[in-house]
Amino acid sequence: MRNMSDIIEQYLKDMIEKSGNEVVEIKRAHIAEKFDCVPSQLNYVIKTRFTNEHGYVVESKRGGGGYIRITKVETHSETEYLAHLQNLIGESISQLNAEHLVQSMYENEVITYREAQIIDAVMKREILSLELPYRDILRAKILRRIITAILYAKE
């Protein structure tokens, strides 16, 4: 059975898809009321499932007229999308953010499920047995190289 976070995530993704322009504005209190949960549950879902690594930009305004605006980052080509991901990686990347990035590539059909599983396997801290920050630096180098290989394979 899916947990509440999964249900809220899917609801928000469905809203974004139905919006047509890939942007949705929500009121934190309305969504919390709809799912009979506390607003902090919604905050958790947004902070962990709608990140740049997942291909989203989130803006929020607090207060009575406040809102949360979730925008799906659309790129016009796969090459542009992969270049965007490389910029997100930077000099280092945590295991969690690397997993989000790989999941995004899978969801955007850049890689297969099998390829995502293989990439995730080599990104694990148990495999990259170095101390921080060297582990995150190495992970970033590997991930950037994988994306470069995907880019060249597409040409």
Q: For position 127, which CATH number holds?
A: 1.10.1200.150
Q: Are residues 109 and 148 in the same domain?
A: yes
> What's the mean pLDDT when you consider all of the chain?
86
Q: Are residues 97 and 46 in the same domain?
A: no
pLDDT in tens, 26-70: 888 888 889 898 888 888 898 888 887 777 888 887 766 668 888
CATH number at residue 16: 3.30.56.130
CA–CA dist 89, 53 (Å, integer) = 9
CA distances from 148 to 2, 34, 72 (A): 35, 43, 23
The domain in which residue 27 lies consists of: 4-72
pLDDT of res. 21: 64
For 123-132, letters b (16+ CB in 10 Å) and e give: beeeebeeee
Q: Are residues 97 and 146 in the same domain?
A: yes
